[in-house]
Amino acid sequence: MPNRLKFLTIVVLVASWAAQPLTADDKSSAPPSRYETRADHDPDGIGKFYMGREIAHVMGHLAADWLERPEREQEEQPKKLLELLKLKPGDVVADIGAGSGYHTFRIAERVGPTGKVFAVDIQPEMLALIRQRMKARKVTNIEPIQGTEKDPKLPPDSVDLILLVDVYHEFEYPFEMTEAMIRALKPGGRLVFVEFRLEDPKVPIKLVHKMTERQVRKEMQPHPVTWQETIGTLPRQHVIVFKKNEPNAAGGKEAGRTTR
């Protein structure tokens, strides 16, 4: 067979093999998805599950007034939450899922002019509210950032504390978002989850908008963070604190304490 004809024959055979559909054995070797989709699910969830937990629908910008409701101080005690965080002047804080800026502006007061707050949200309408209030209040130490479903768009190794108030359970890609958030933390920086307690049936919040402490800690196991403490002294939420590991340190350790 002439060399040119032989070469063409080989090319055709290779192309034919590559075009064949995957067999069952081929498919079984593909990496499994982190996420599972179920048709039978809670109507308040999106039907997508991560580590056995259904992800909740995002609360839209039209509900911004609910975030600012006067009774929130009595129901959730956000002032006490900020005291528990032990913020210092000069701290750099990221408020992820900042919404209307309810916590953002309170944090900005505590970190002072030498500190900074990144107000991160995926909804431009929420960020527009924050910008309006910044202008009206002449606040200059807040930087609004429009993140994505997988990335808060924060500078790497820049943040002392990342705060997630009733928002993590709505992340459509919790694994990828957590990876990106941890990249933004300084070594030793804190990742703080504030979630309505699923363990308490008296907490008047829809099921998929609540999380157990155990589930939060389970979902952080794959990441280079160490659980520090869980604080249960707020009326309806627990505060679950993780610390970013120093370089070369193992992740997923549980060396903290629980305060009730």
| Beta pairing, strands 142-146 & 116-121 | parallel
Q: Consecutive sets of 10 residues in the chain, 260 residues long: mean pLDDT of each?
A: 43 39 50 90 96 93 78 93 97 97 97 98 96 98 98 98 98 98 97 98 96 98 98 97 84 63
pLDDT score of 202 = 96
Write out pLDDT tens, residues 186-196: 999 999 999 99
Residue 250's pLDDT is what? Answer: 54
* Three-state secondary-structure class, residue 94: strand
CB atoms within 10 A of CB 208: 20
pLDDT at 60 (0 to 100):
77
Q: What CATH code would you report for 35-259?
A: 3.40.50.150
pTM, two decimal places: 0.84
| DSSP state string for 162-220 | EEEES-GGG-SSHHHHHHHHHHHEEEEEEEEEEEEBTT-TTS-S-GGG-B-HHHHHHHH
| pLDDT attached to residue 68 | 81
Q: Which two tokens mark 228?
A: 């520090």
Is residue 227 within 8 Å of residue 242, measured between CB atoms? yes
- For 75, counting Cβ atoms within 10 Å of its Cβ (0-12 exposed, 13-18 middle, 19+ buried), the class is middle
Residue-wise pLDDT for 38-91, tens only, equals 999 999 999 999 999 999 999 877 667 878 888 998 999 999 999 999 999 999
In this prediction, residue 112 carries a pLDDT of 98
Percent above pLDDT 90 for the chain:
76
Q: Where are the domains of the chain?
A: 35-259
- H-type alpha helices, 19-77: 24-28, 64-67, 72-76
DSSP line for 24-39: HHHHHTSPPPSEEE-S
